[in-house]
């Protein structure tokens, strides 16, 4: 089954982030995306997994960072 994909403006609205930030993350390959016919699309399930994987919880440090 093919998931319902989100355009960059839709994802921007859902996450409350500027479109420009998402475009930068796409160009830097920081966020999962798919290119279809020149459009940048996002699978909501992949975004959910990405958000979970990149969430820093209280008391945790990011990989590669030292705790103060």
Helices (H) and strands (E) in the chain, counts: 3, 3
pLDDT (mean) for 7-27: 97
pLDDT given for residue 3 in this prediction: 72
Q: Domain coordinates of the chain in residue numbers?
A: 6-54
pLDDT given for residue 49 in this prediction: 96
34, β-bridge pairs: 41
- The number of CA neighbours under 13 Å toward the Cβ of 33 is 20
pLDDT given for residue 67 in this prediction: 52
Instruction: Classify residue 22 by burial, with Cβ atoms within 10 Å: 0-12, 13-18, 19+.
Output: buried
- The number of CA neighbours under 13 Å toward the Cβ of 16 is 0
| Residue 60 confidence (pLDDT) above 90 | no
| Residue 54 confidence (pLDDT) above 70 | yes
Bigger pLDDT: 12 or 65? 12
pLDDT given for residue 5 in this prediction: 96
Domain 6-54 in CATH 1.10.10: yes
């Amino acid at each position: 089954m093919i998931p319902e994909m989100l355009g960059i403006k839709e994802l921007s609205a859902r996450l409350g982030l500027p479109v420009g930030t998402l475009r930068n993350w796409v160009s830097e390959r920081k966020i999962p995306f798919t290119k279809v016919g020149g459009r940048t699309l996002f699978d909501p399930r992949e975004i959910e997994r990405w958000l979970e994987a990149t969430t820093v919880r209280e008391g945790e440090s990011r990989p590669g960072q030292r705790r103060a």
